[in-house]
Amino acid sequence: MELPILSPMAQTLDDVARAQIRKWIESTGITQTALAARIGRNQAWMSRYLAAEFGADLDTLHKMAQVFGHSLTSMLDIPKDPEEAAVLTAYRALRPEARNIALNLLQDWSRARGRGRARR
């Protein structure tokens, strides 16, 4: 799984957002046309944005994040720890109902680990 980790070269917020949007498009199967329509744009605009021909304003980025059930901050937040980034990338790629299952599993595993330590 390719991680949207910042490289030594300076990346713009649009670069980070584009990488995350591509991941969400791939994981959900939404088309560029459908995504564009949901944010009040057309497919040509979306294609050109994803091709880095121009940037998007924060309101548009926020609308795109909302289409996938995320906030603008989750679109732009890339952790420094590669393992944490991989977990977050995978989690953010899930549909909302699957996110609930994943969260419940993580919480259950965390509680189980804590209980195991208390018994020692």
Q: What's the CATH fold of domain 13-119?
A: 434 Repressor (Amino-terminal Domain) (1.10.260)
Share of residues in the chain with pLDDT > 90 (%): 45
CA atoms within 13 A on the CB side of 44: 0
| Other CB atoms within 10 Å distance of the CB of residue 61 | 23
Q: Residue 11 corresponds to which tokens in the numbers above?
A: 């990346």
pLDDT, the chain, mean: 84
Write out pLDDT tens, residues 31-71. Answer: 999 999 999 999 999 999 999 999 999 999 999 999 999 89
Decide if pLDDT at 120 tops 50: no
Domain ranges of the chain: 13-119
DSSP-assigned letter for residue 39: T
Average pLDDT over residues 2-23: 74
pLDDT band, residue 22 (cuts 50/70/90):
very high
